[in-house]
Amino acid sequence: MTIAAVREFNRYYTNLIGALRAGLLDSAYSLAEVRVLYELAVDRAHDTAELRRVLDIDAGYLSRILGRLEADGLVARSRSAADARRRRIELTPAGREAFAALDARSEAQIAGLLTGVGEVDRRRLVAAMTTIRSVFDGVPAPRTVVLRQPLPGDLGWVVQRHGALYAAEYGLDATFEALVARIVADYATAHDPRTEAGWIAEIDGTPVGSIFCVAAGDGVAKLRLLFVEPSARGAGVGRALVQECVRFAKRVGYREMVLYTHDVLTAARRLYEQAGFELESATPASVYGVDVVEEQWRLSLA
């Protein structure tokens, strides 16, 4: 099944970019010939041995490609000054001009493919490509945390993931999800973008966390709905969200920031302590179907 899926994708993508056409990018040159021009243009290879290594190509096939490009005046071969046994290969001025035209066509082709693809899907696309490379190279893909403003659909995701995760991990009932829904609805319908904001954290184009800064009155901001997916814990998502929320509150002129949490949320409590929040009160309570200790934390922004 996996083999068939990979083969199907290969057929799909080669058709998508026109790799099977006699001339790539409406040129007189094949994919392999254009790739040789690229390697020479970016100075990754300077002789036949280096080209073979970079392209993993048969020596005879490469020799025929170079012969054609040389006959067309696009490359020139000369004896290497460092090693007389090796032949140096360089693009001629005509070769650089031809490559520049091909490179511009390639840019335009990909830009055309991306026309109509939204920003979220573009991030998903790049993340999927990074995953493919990391799988075959055997190197874990870098986990870059990106914070962005909520997009359509994100607020519903915040409610759903809070409800599902807090039920699974802490046994909270549907009244907690209802609370989150009210907070999100209030934010969506009445927040002041000058003094209130929300952030969605992404890794590889996938939402993995949230946080909101809302006004509590009298120059006080309230940190709300900090959330990190289990799959993203340990990647610095929570720290990045808290830091961004505090920075925003300082920038727009709040004098203090408060938050409410429960004693069982130990990872979140550590983040608050690291950010400089101090525990102000702790009160036993029975809420959301469980017994908890409700805590209020406060941070001076002066």
Residue 191: pLDDT band with limits 50, 70, 90: very high
Task: Judge if pTM exceeds 0.75.
Answer: no
User: Of all residues in the chain, what percent carry a pLDDT higher than 90?
Assistant: 70
Which has the minimum average pLDDT: 120-129, 151-160, 238-247, 254-263?
Answer: 120-129
Predicted confidence (pLDDT) at residue 129 exceeds the cutoff of 90: no
Q: Is the pLDDT reported for residue 44 higher than 80?
A: no
Which CATH code of 3.30.70.2190, 3.40.50.2000, 3.40.630.30, 1.10.510.10 fits the domain covering 145-300? Answer: 3.40.630.30
| Residue 222 pLDDT exceeds 70 | yes
Whether the pLDDT of residue 85 is over 80: the answer is no
Predicted local distance difference test score (pLDDT) of residue 170: 93
Tens digits of residue pLDDT in 195-207: 999 999 998 788 9
Task: Please give the mean pLDDT across all residues of the chain.
Answer: 91
The pLDDT assigned to 236 comes to 92
Res. 141: pLDDT tops 70: no
pLDDT, mean of residues 85-94: 86
pLDDT bucket at 142, cuts 50 / 70 / 90: low
Task: Output the CATH code of domain 2-115.
Answer: 1.10.10.10
Least confident of 81-95, 220-234, 278-292: 81-95
Q: Structural domain boundaries of the chain?
A: 2-115, 145-300
> For the ranges 48-52, 90-94, 146-150, 258-262, which has the lowest average pLDDT?
48-52
Given a contact cutoff of 8 angstroms between Cβ atoms, the answer to whether 222 and 258 are in contact is yes
